[in-house]
Structure 1
C-alpha cells in the first residue's frame, strides 16, 4: 500500500510541478509561505517506474490500484475559500475643500500659462535676422495690402449712390405707411451687397497674391495671413456699418444721431483693425521674420494698448450710453424694458471683462485667441438678435387678442376671454423658454457649457422629454376645461332666437358643478405633473386621504351643510331672487353657495344662513300669489249696502289695466265672515301672479277706502266709559252706563 501511494505521488505530483495549467492548478504553491517542493532525481524516477510495473503485473495489486484511482476520481474537490476584499474608501471632501481644489487647479493652469509666456519671451531660441529677406517680403506684402485696400475702397465708393437711393426709397415707403417691409428689406439688402463686395475683393486679392508672391512660400504665407485678417475684420466692419451706417443715414436701423454714429463706427472700426492686423498679421510675421521673443513682446504691447484704449472709451462714454439705453427702455415693451434696464447698469463691466479676457487669451494663445473671440462674439450677436426677434414676435402676439363672432360670444360668453388667457399664458411661457435657450447657447458660444452634448445625452434629453410631457398634459387639461366650462356657460346663457334664461335652480346647480369641475381638473393635473417631474405622489395621496378623514370628523357640520344644500337644490326649494321666509327672517335670496344661503331683508340687513340650520322655510314665488282681504264695518251699518260698496271697489280694481294683468281668474266674495259686538267683517280673495299680491292689495285698499266713503260706510268705532271722580271720603256709588257711546 505504501508503494502504491508513493507511485501515485510521483506520477501525479511531478507533472503538476513541471506544467502549470491556468484554471486547474491550485494556488498553494504560489503563496508566500509555502515551502518549495524538491524535484525527484533520476534514480528515484527509475525506482518508481519499476515499482509501478510490478504493481501492474500483479493482478491483485492492479485491481486495488484501479479501485483507489476510481475512489479518488469520485471525491469532490475542496471548495475554494472566498477571498474578502475590503471596500474602497473614498474620502468625502467638504464644499470648501472642493472650491479650494478647483481654485488650485485653475491657479496652476494660469501660472503655467504665465510661465510659458515668460519662457517664450526669455528662453526662446534666437533666429538670425535677414534684413534683405525681411525687406523683400515686406515689399510684396505692402503691395498686396495696398492693392486690396484700393480695390475695396473703389468698389464701395461706386456702390455708395446705390445705397443712398435704396435708403431714400425705403424711407419714403415707410413714411407713406404703404408697407413696413421695404425699410428692413433694404437694410438687409445693403448688408448682403456689402458682403458680396467683400467676397469679390477677397477673390481679387487671392488672384493678386498668386501673382505677387514671387514664388516664395514665406511671402505667400504672409499674404494669406493678411487676406484672412482682412476677411475677418471687414466682416466685423460690415456688421458695424449695418448698425451705425455712418454714410447713409436712411439705412440706419436705429435712431442715432449722425455724429454719434460716425464716432462709434470710427472708434470700433479702428479698434477692430488694430486687434485683427496686430494679432493675426503683425505678430506672426515678426515671430517668423525677426524673432520669437520680439513677436511675443509685440503681442503683449499691442494687446496692452488695445485693452487700455478700449477701457478708456468704455468709461469715457459710460454715462451717455447708459442714458441712451434707459431712454430705449422707456420706449420698448415691458418685457424688453426690464432686460435693457438691467443691461444699462452692467454693460460697462461686461465690455471691460470682454477686452480683459481677450487680452489674456491673446497672451497665452495669440494664434487662435482672436478667432475664438470673434467667432464667439458673432455667434453671441446672432443668438441675441434671434432671441430678441422671437421674443418680440411673442410679445406682439401677447398684446393681440382673439375676437370671436357675435353668435359665438353670445352662446359662449366666457370662451373668448378664456382663449385669450390660455394663449397669453402659453406665449409667455414660450418667451421665457426662448430666453433660457438663448442663455444656454451664449454659454455654449463662449465654451462655458456644452449645450448640444447636454441636449442629446443625459440630463438635457430627459429635461426636454419632461417638458414636452408637461406641455401635453397642460394642453389637454386646458382643452378639457375650456370645452366643459364652455358647454356649461352655453347652458347658462340665453338665446335671442327664443331660448329663455334657465331657472335659478339650474343656474345654481350648473355654477356649483363648474366650480367642482375646476377643482377636480386642477387637482388631477397637478398630481400628474408632479409625477412627471419625479415627485412620488403616493405619500401625497395617502396624506390627502388621512387628512380628508381627519377633516371629515372635525367638520361634520360643514358636510351636513353641503349635503342639505345639494338636496334642497335638487328639490328646487329656493333659487336666487326668490322671496322666502326662513325662521324669523323674510327676505330675498341673493346668493346660494354649496354651504349657505344669503338672504337680504327689506331693511337692508344681509343674513348668511347655513343649510343645515334650515328646518322649514316658506317660498313666496312658487306658482301663484294670494290676496285674502278682510274689511271690518260698524255693526250698525247695513250689510247689503256695505257688501255692494265692496263689490264696486273690486270692480274698480278690475278696470285698472296694470292691476288686472296681475290677477289670475276672478275675485271670490265670501260675504260676512266675522261678527262682534261692535263690527262685522267682509272678505274678498284674489289669485295673483307670484310676488304681485301686495300690488293688488294696495290697489284694492285704495278703492275700498274710496267707495266706503262715497257710500258713507263707517268702520268700527272704539268705545270706552268715562267714570266720575270719587267725592269726599265716602265711597262713590257705581255709575250708570251712559245712554249713548262716548267717543
Structure 2
C-alpha cells in the first residue's frame, strides 16, 4: 500500500511535468532524473529519464482510477493558478490610492506646463532669429516691383473709389427707405445694398484684369506680380464688404449692430486697415520678397507686418475700452443716439438695468482681448509664417462666429424687448393669446441666446485645437447627446403648440363676441378641460423628455403609483374633495357665474375646480369652499327664477284696489324694454298671504330668466311705490298705540297739546313784561280728540 502511494505520487509529478513541457514547448528534464547517479553520462541519463517518464505516463493513462485522480489534480492546479493570478492583480489596483492618483495627475500636468512655458520662453529669447533673414534690401525690392504694378493699382483703385463715391448717395437713400419700411422690405433693401457693394468690387477687379491683359506687357499675357495683386485686391475688398455688411457706415437704416454713425465709421476704418495690411502683406508683399530675396526674408517681413497689426490693435483696444464697455453694459435699444464726441466712439445706450453677464464682460473685455493679442504675439515670434497664417485664419473664424452670434443675439434681444404683436382681429378673437406668447417667447429667446453662446464657445475651442468637436459629434456619445437635445426640443415645442392651441380654442369659445354665447355649463366644462388638459400635458411631456434623455421612467411610474397611494391615505379630505367635485360636475349642480348657497355662504361662483368652489359675496369677500364641507347646494340660476313680492297695505284699504294697482304697476314695468326682455310670464296673483300687526300682506310673483329676479324685483318695487302714492293707498309702517289706564269712575289722565310757536311767543311777551290773557281751557272733547290723534300718529 505504501509502495502504491509512492508510485502514484511519482506518476503525478511526472504527468505534471510532461503537461508543462507540452504546454510551453520546452524539452525540460524531469527533476527525479537528478536523483540518479552522477557517474552516468548526461545523454544516457536524459534517455533513461525520458523513457521512464513515458512509461509512467502510459501506466497512469491505462489505469482508470489513477487517470481520474490525475484529472482532478490538474483541475485543482488550474483553479489555484487562477486564484493566484487574481490575488496578484488585485493589490496592484487597490495599491494606488485616490490621493496618489490625483497627485500623479497634477504632477504630470505641472511638468507639461513647465516644459511648455520653458519652450515658449526659449523661443521668445531667440525671437530675433525671426528677423535674421532681413537684410535691409526688402524695401528696394518692393520699389523695383512697383512699376509693373503701378498701372494696375491705379486703375483698380481709381475705378473702385469713383464707384464707391457715386454709390454712397444710393446707400443713403436705401437707408432712409429702410427706416420707414417693414421687415421684408428692409431685408430686400439690405440685400440690394450689399450686392451693389460686391458688384463694385468685382467690376474694379475685372477692369483691372482686362487692362493688364490687353495693355500691360505682351498682348494676352499677365505677369505673376499683377496676378498676385489682383487676387489680393479681390480678397481684401471682399473682406471689407463683409465688414461693411455688418456695420453699414453709409446707411444707418441697414446697420445690423446697434451703434451710432460715428462708431460705425470708426470701427470700419480700423478693421479696413487691419484687413489691408494683412491681406496685401501676406498675399502680395511676402510672395514678392520670397521670390526676389529669400524665404527667410519673407518670414521676417510677415512677422513685421503681424507685429504692426498687433501693436495697432493694442492701441485701439486701450483707447476704446470705455466706449465699448458702456456699449456692452447698456440694455438693448433699437434707436441710435446722436454722436456726443467727435474723437470717441459713441455707442448707443439707454438707462436701465443690463444683464449681469454683460456687465461683467464689459468690465473685463479689454483684458480678454489683450490676452488674445499676447498669445498671437507668441505665435508670431515662435512659429513659422504658415503657422502664423493658420492662427490668423483660426482667429478670423472665431471672430466671424462671434459676429454672427452677436447679430443673432442682438436680434433676439430686440425681439424680447419688442415682444409679440398680433393683428387686431386675432387679438379680438383670442384676447389672451398675445399675453401668453409674450410670457413664453422672451424666455425661449433667452434659452436660445444661451445655446448660441455655448455653440460659439465650443466652436472656438474646436478651431484653436483644444477640443475635437467633429470627432465628438460623430462618436456614439455625441450622437446620443445631440439626438436627445433635438428630441427634447421638438417635444417641448410640440407640447407648447398643443397647449397654446387648446387654450386658444377655449378662449375663442368663451368669447361672447364671436360665435354662439357659451352657456354657464359650457364655460365650466371648458375651464375644467383646460386645467385638466394642461396638467396631463405637463406630465406626459415630462415623461417623454425623461425617456429621451435616457432615464428609465418605469421605476418612476411605479414610485409615483406608490406615492399616490400614500398621499391618498394621508390626504383623505383632499380625495373626498375631488370625488365630491367630480359628482357635482356630473350632476351639473354648479357652473361658473351661478349664484349659489353652499356652506351657509351665498355668492357668485368665480372659479370652479374638481376640489373646491370659489365664491364672492355681496360685500366683495372672496370665499374658497372645499367640496368636502358641502352638504347641500342651493342654486338660484337653474332654468328660470321668480321674483316674489309681499306687499303690505293698511287695514282700512280696499284689497281689490291694491290688487289693481299691483297689476297696473306690472304693466308699467312691461312697457320698459330693458325690463320686459327678462320677464317670461305674466304677473301671478296669490292674494292675501297673511295678516300682520299693522298691515295686510298681499303676495305676487314674477317669472324671470335665471339671475334677473333681483333686478326685476327692485324695479317692480319702484313702480309699486309710484302707483300707490298716486292712488293714495297707504303703505303701512311701524306704529305704536299709547293706551292710558282708566280709574273706576271712568276718569283718565289728560294730555295738554300746545302749539310750539304760540308757546314761544307767550314766553317772549312775558320776558318784556307784557301781560296777555290766558286762553280758556278747551272742552274735554277736544282734549280727548287730541289724545286720540296723538296716539294715532304717535
TM over 0.5: yes
Partner of 1:647: 659
Question: Would the alpha carbon gap of residues 280 and 344 (structure 1) be closer, same or farther in structure 2, given more than 3 Å must change?
Answer: farther
> Equivalent residue of 2:119, what SS?
helix
Contact 2:172 2:250 in 1 (8 A): yes
Q: CA deviation at 1:47?
A: 9.8
Partner of 2:472: 454
Q: CA deviation at 1:438?
A: 2.4
Match of 1:264 among 260, 270, 279: 270
Question: Would the alpha carbon gap of residues 633 and 453 (structure 1) be closer, same or farther in structure 2, given more than 3 Å must change?
Answer: same
Q: Distance in 2 between matches of 1:397 and 1:645?
A: 75
5+ unaligned residues in a row in structure 2: which ranges?
179-184, 256-260, 337-347, 750-783
Contact 1:402 1:419 in 2 (8 A): no
> Equivalent residue of 1:688, what SS?
strand
Q: Distance in 1 between matches of 2:45 and 2:575?
A: 105
Q: What TM-score do you get using the length of structure 2 for normalisation?
A: 0.67
Match of 1:706 among 704, 725, 736: 725
Partner of 2:698: 683
Q: CA deviation at 1:450?
A: 1.9
Q: CA deviation at 1:570?
A: 3.1
Partner of 2:239: 239
Give the alignment of 1:518-529 within 5 angstroms: 518-529=534-545
Question: Would the alpha carbon gap of residues 683 and 321 (structure 1) be closer, same or farther in structure 2, given more than 3 Å must change?
Answer: closer
Give the alignment of 1:127-526 within 5 angstroms: 143-144=144-145, 147-148=148-149, 151-176=152-177, 180-181=189-190, 182-192=192-202, 235=235, 239-240=239-240, 243=243, 250=250, 255-256=261-262, 260=266, 264=270, 268=274, 272=278, 276=282, 310-319=313-322, 331=336, 344-391=362-409, 401=420, 403=422, 406=425, 414=432, 429-494=447-512, 496=514, 499-503=516-520, 505-526=521-542
Contact 1:669 1:684 in 2 (8 A): yes
Q: CA deviation at 1:471?
A: 1.7
Partner of 2:585: 569
Is 1:612 aligned to residue 622 of structure 2? no
5+ unaligned residues in a row in structure 1: which ranges?
52-61, 214-222, 725-731
Q: CA deviation at 1:359?
A: 1.9
Q: Distance in 1 between matches of 2:681 and 2:210?
A: 103
Q: What TM-score do you get using the length of structure 1 for normalisation?
A: 0.71
Is 1:695 aligned to residue 709 of structure 2? no
Question: Would the alpha carbon gap of residues 419 and 28 (structure 1) be closer, same or farther in structure 2, given more than 3 Å must change?
Answer: farther
> Equivalent residue of 1:361, what SS?
helix
Deviations along 1:265-323, whole A, 9 cap, x unmatched? 6864686489859995799799969xx8x999999988777755653454245445656
Q: CA deviation at 1:476?
A: 2.8
Q: CA deviation at 1:698?
A: 1.1
Q: CA deviation at 1:371?
A: 0.8
Q: CA deviation at 1:20?
A: 9.7
Deviations along 1:395-453, whole A, 9 cap, x unmatched? 677657474794x7666554566567666665554454333222222222222332222
Give the alignment of 1:592-611 within 5 angstroms: 592-611=608-627
Question: Would the alpha carbon gap of residues 734 and 300 (structure 1) be closer, same or farther in structure 2, given more than 3 Å must change?
Answer: farther
> Equivalent residue of 2:634, what SS?
strand
Partner of 2:780: none
Question: Would the alpha carbon gap of residues 391 and 184 (structure 1) be closer, same or farther in structure 2, given more than 3 Å must change?
Answer: farther
> Equivalent residue of 1:521, what SS?
helix
Q: CA deviation at 1:594?
A: 3.8
Is 1:106 aligned to residue 122 of structure 2? no
> Equivalent residue of 1:573, what SS?
coil
Q: How many residues align?
A: 681
Contact 1:662 1:696 in 2 (8 A): no
Question: Would the alpha carbon gap of residues 366 and 251 (structure 1) be closer, same or farther in structure 2, given more than 3 Å must change?
Answer: farther
Contact 2:647 2:698 in 1 (8 A): yes
Contact 2:694 2:734 in 1 (8 A): yes
Question: Would the alpha carbon gap of residues 162 and 403 (structure 1) be closer, same or farther in structure 2, given more than 3 Å must change?
Answer: same
Contact 2:665 2:723 in 1 (8 A): no
Contact 1:633 1:716 in 2 (8 A): no
Question: Would the alpha carbon gap of residues 227 and 506 (structure 1) be closer, same or farther in structure 2, given more than 3 Å must change?
Answer: same
Partner of 1:621: 637
* RMSD, aligned CA: 5.8
Q: CA deviation at 1:327?
A: 8.3
Q: CA deviation at 1:522?
A: 1.0
Q: CA deviation at 1:464?
A: 0.8
Q: CA deviation at 1:242?
A: 6.0
Contact 2:615 2:622 in 1 (8 A): yes
Contact 2:149 2:229 in 1 (8 A): no
Q: Distance in 1 between matches of 2:145 and 2:533?
A: 79
Question: Would the alpha carbon gap of residues 457 and 183 (structure 1) be closer, same or farther in structure 2, given more than 3 Å must change?
Answer: same
Question: Would the alpha carbon gap of residues 473 and 318 (structure 1) be closer, same or farther in structure 2, given more than 3 Å must change?
Answer: closer
Q: CA deviation at 1:518?
A: 0.9
Deviates more, 1:161-170 or 1:113-122: 113-122
Give the alignment of 1:628-643 within 5 angstroms: 628-629=645-646, 631=648, 633-634=650-651, 637=652, 642-643=654-655
> Equivalent residue of 2:489, what SS?
helix
Q: CA deviation at 1:470?
A: 0.4
Q: CA deviation at 1:477?
A: 1.8
Deviates more, 1:98-107 or 1:192-201: 192-201
Contact 2:606 2:614 in 1 (8 A): yes
Deviates more, 1:660-669 or 1:623-632: 660-669
